[in-house]
Each structure stands twice: as C-alpha cells, then as structure tokens.
Structure 1
Amino acid sequence: MKIREIKEILGATIWVGEEYLDQCLHAACGCDLMSDVLAFAKEKVLLLTGLINPQVIRTAEMLDIRAIVFVRGKAPTEDMIELARQKHITLLSTNEPLYIACGKLYEKGLGGGGEE
C-alpha cells in the first residue's frame, strides 16, 4: 500500500516526507515499545505509535522503516521532524487511536509484519 493511501485512509496530516508518498509499504506495526518494534518489525513496514521522542526515528532508521504515523493526535517535535528529514522518513499523524488506525489499515489490505 502506498503511503499516500495510508494518509487518505487515516485522514492523516503529513509533517515531513511528502516527496515519498508514492513509496509502497508491505505491512504495519502498531506499537509504543521500541524494543518490541526492534524484535518484530520487518523492512517496508509502517510504524504506528503514540510515542513521541527521537528514539522512534532512530529505531525506524535501524530497521529501514520508511514511514511513521503518530496516533491520538500527537505531533512530532521540531527535532524529530528534522531528524526524519535527514533520514528520509515520512512522518504523519492521525487523530485515530492506535487500535482503530491499525484496524482501518488492515481492513483496506495492509497486513501485519508476521503474515507471509
């Protein structure tokens, strides 16, 4: 699924990375514990989280996660936006809670990282 489609499905705001909206992602990972993201996420995954700190961007960089959606109306800080810009990571935010955002994306065909 393209990041552009994810933005539309979630009614999301884009903070940085508009030039990457046509990138395709193969799965989603909804999580606030970055240790779980490190353990379970794969490449080409969308990360959905309510955690707002630079460690989210650093974790995404380590796993080649190209897009992050912040849930519950949370917005990234200016430092996070600049770091994401440097690392070519798209940042979006939605007012949806994590459970609903994941459900909407799953319903439209974006599976979880563990499905083969």
Structure 2
Amino acid sequence: MKLSEVKRLLKAEVVYGDHKLETEVELAAGSDLMSDLLTGPTAGALLLSGLNNLQVIRTAVIAGFTGVVLVRGKKPDPEMIAQAKIHDVPLMTTPFTLFTACGRLFKEGVRGVERRKKTP
C-alpha cells in the first residue's frame, strides 16, 4: 500500500512529505513506548503513535521507519516538523485512535512488524 492510500484510509493530513506519498508500506507498528519499537525489526514499516514529541522522529530515523502517523488528531510542534524535514520522514496526523487507525490499515492488508523475522 502506498502512503497516499494510508492518507486516504486514515483521513490523514500530511504535515510533511507530500513528495513521498508513492512510497510503499507493507508493515506497521503502533506504540506510544518508543523503546519497544527499537527492539526491531522495523525498517520500512510505518510508525503510528499518540506520542507527540521529538522522540518519535528520532525513533523513526534510528529504526528505519518509512513514515510517522500521529493519532487522535495530535498536531506536531514546529520543532518536530523541522526534524521530520531534516531527516526526510513523512509525517501525518489522523483523527482516529491508535486502535482504529491500526485496524483500518490491517483490514486493507498492512501487517504488524511481528510478521517479519528478526535477524540474528
């Protein structure tokens, strides 16, 4: 699924990254606890979170996420947007809860990162 389809399904607003809407996404992870996401494997997955701070962008960069979706209508502050631009991480916001957003993506074929085998 392309990020453009994620945008449509989640009724999301693109805060940064319109130029990357053709990027493919097959996996996603939803969490507010960034340390859980650093246990991998997450490269190429989409990160959904209700956490609205710089740590989300830092985690996305370190773990290799394709993009970030903030849930519950959270609006990123200017510093978070600036970091998304610096690291070229697509950033969206959706009115849906984390549960609903993940469910909508799952229904359309996006699977969780646990479906990918960890590398030793």
TM-score by length of structure 2 reads 0.93
- Cα distance in 2 for residues equivalent to 1:17 and 1:66: 11
Q: Which residue of 2 aligns with 1:18?
A: 18
Structure 1 runs (4+) greater than 2 angstroms displaced: none
SS in 2 for 1:47: strand
CA displacement 1:43-83 (0-9 Å, x = unmatched): 11000000011011011100111210000010111101011
Q: Any unmatched runs of 5+ in structure 2? A: none
CA displacement 1:6-48 (0-9 Å, x = unmatched): 0000000000011000001120100000000111441110000
Q: Which residue of 1 aligns with 2:80?
A: 80
Q: Any unmatched runs of 5+ in structure 1? A: none
TM-align CA RMSD: 0.9
- How many residue pairs get aligned? The number is 116
TM-score by length of structure 1 reads 0.96
What percent of counterpart residues are identical? 40
